[in-house]
Amino acid sequence: MPRLLAIDIGNTHIKIGLYSQGRWIEEWRLATDLRRTPDEYRLFMRGLLLESNVEVVDRAIVASVVPLLTPFFLRVLQSVSLAKPEEVVPPGYGLKVDYPPENLGPDRFVNALAAWELTRRPVVVVDVGTTATVDAVVDGVFLGGAIAPGPHFLAQALAQGTARLPHVMPAIEPWAIGKNTEEAIRAGVGHGFVGMVKDLILKTRSSIGQDSVVVLTGGWSQRLAPYLDMPVRLEPQLTLEGLRFADAWLYAQELH
């Protein structure tokens, strides 16, 4: 079975997964840093693979929302992949798009692709991290969705837009009434974020069907899930899975 190296280049983090023998055998995460050179990324990538006793992979695929880094990583992957590295550019890969493709981030697209392939039902795809995205897929068609600020942006906006409010690390606390300014901000940002995401999910489900599956991913997914008061399917590897499905589709096209 071919070994696949999948890379999701996000605004805050770069997620890397090594897939072999039917499972993700390695996952790594590093900070997105535009100051690094291609040589630094190549050495870093080779080091990660060598730690797993892998010198080259059979295939490699990238989804990127940071255009400046995309050519860097494609060049890096050429040195460690037997096949030409692929970049995911919507639409295609078995998922139709009812949305301007040039406006659709590859991360949202591959998340939607994975959610559809994993459920094959009307699905609400929720990614909560730097931003919060809530998207809808029905009958193999990406319909669109909502994009909102993530919790760190909300906390940052309060600090930058006011003279006296401090910047606090956001959290979802068990209490809703803060007993000082820092606690009040934490309560407002944390529970406000929960309320925002929950309402977006409910409105999306009211449009595509109340029986639609809710698939949740992203850095805040584990913290958010218990507060949504609805069944959700946690998929922490959703983006990597989407890249795997995209690569499988490309491989099938090559065989034909």
Please list the active-site residues: 107
Beta-bridged to residue 217, according to DSSP, are 127
Among residues 223, 253, 219, the alpha carbon closest in space to that of 238 is found at 219
Lookup: tokens for 123:
């699905």
**∠19-135-29 over CA atoms, to 5°?**
35
- Kindly list the distances between the CA atom of residue 217 and the CA atoms of 48, 115, 169, in Å, as whole numbers in the listed order: 24, 10, 20
Among residues 9, 170, 19, 175, the alpha carbon closest in space to that of 88 is found at 9
CB 142 within 8 A of CB 94: no
Q: 36: which residues sit within 8 A by CB, 6+ positions away?
A: 44, 72
Angle between helix 106-119 and helix 238-255 axes, rounded to 10 deg: 80
Among residues 78, 140, 127, 158, the alpha carbon closest in space to that of 232 is found at 127
Lookup: tokens for 131:
């931003």
CB 112 within 8 A of CB 242: yes
Report d(CA 131, CA 127) in Å as an integer: 8
